[in-house]
Amino acid sequence: MARRRASRPAPVLPARGRASIRGREPERRRLRSPRILLISIAVVGVVGFVGLALANSLTAPAYACAELLTTPPSASADEGFATESLGQGHVATGTKVRYGFCPPTSGSHYGARGAGPIPPGFYGPDAEAGPGGWVHNLEHGYVVALYRFADGTGPSEADLAALRTFAANGPPTSSAAACGYRSKIVVARFDDMSTPFAVVAWDRALLQERFDPSAAQRFASRWIEASAPEPNAC
C-alpha cells in the first residue's frame, strides 16, 4: 500500500509580521489625507476667487472717470460754465464707458429702449440710472440734476424733497409736450462728483455745495434744449 503523504499545515507568520501587514493600509490612508486636503483647499480657493470676481463685476459701476469736474473762477452762479465736449457716440448697453471728467456733460451713451435715454423724473438712491442712460437725455435737450450719496452720506430729506419738486416742475417746452412729458428733467444719484450736487446740460455744468432750487430752475430755463445736438428728440 502506498503511504499517504501528510498534508502540510499553512505556515504561521510571526505576530510582528502580521501586524506590519495590517499596518500598511492605514499608513497609505495617512499618506493620502494631506494630498486630499491640499486639493480641497485649492478647489475652495478657485471657487472663492471666481465668486469674488463675479460679485465685483456685478457691483462695479458701468463707467469710469479720468477726473472730477471742478468749478472754474469765471463760472456764473446761475448759468454755470461750458465744458469740453466728450463726443456723442452710441455704445452697446452694458458697455463700460470711460469719461474724461465726471459728472459727464456729453460723451458715449446707450442707445436702446429703456437703457438710454431714460424717462424723465426723480430716481431714488437705489434706482439704476447711470450716465450711460442720462447722457443720452442730455443729447436730447434734457437738464439732469445729480446728487451724491457716498459712504452712507447723502442729501437730507428736505433736499430730496426739493429735488423731487424740481423734477416735477421743470420748465415746460413744446418738444417735451410732443413727447408726452411736462418737462425734460431727470434727477438721479451720481457719486463721482467734487460737490454734493450738480445740474448739467449738454456741455454745460452748474456745481453746487448745497442744492439751490431757484438756481437750478434758472439754469434749466436757460439751457434746456439750448445746446443739445438733438433738442426735439424724446
pLDDT along the chain (234 residues), means of 10: 45 46 48 46 38 37 93 92 95 95 97 93 95 98 96 92 98 96 97 97 98 97 96 96
119 shares its domain with 101 = yes
153 shares its domain with 82 = yes
User: What whole-number distance in Å separates Cα of residue 43 and Cα of residue 192?
Assistant: 38
The pLDDT of residue 31 is: 40
Question: Which 3-state string (H, E, C) describes 149-176?
Answer: CECCECCCHHHHHHHHHHHHCCCECHHH
The pLDDT of residue 18 is: 45
135 shares its domain with 154 = yes
Do residues 193 and 155 make contact, with C-beta atoms less than 8 angstroms apart? no
100 shares its domain with 29 = no
119 shares its domain with 152 = yes
25 shares its domain with 108 = no
Look at the block and give the residue holding cell 428728440: 233
Three-state secondary-structure class, residue 228: coil
27 shares its domain with 73 = no
Nearest to 170 by CA among 143, 195, 147, 148: 143
The pLDDT of residue 66 is: 96
44 shares its domain with 134 = no
52 shares its domain with 153 = no
144 shares its domain with 30 = no
The pLDDT of residue 33 is: 53
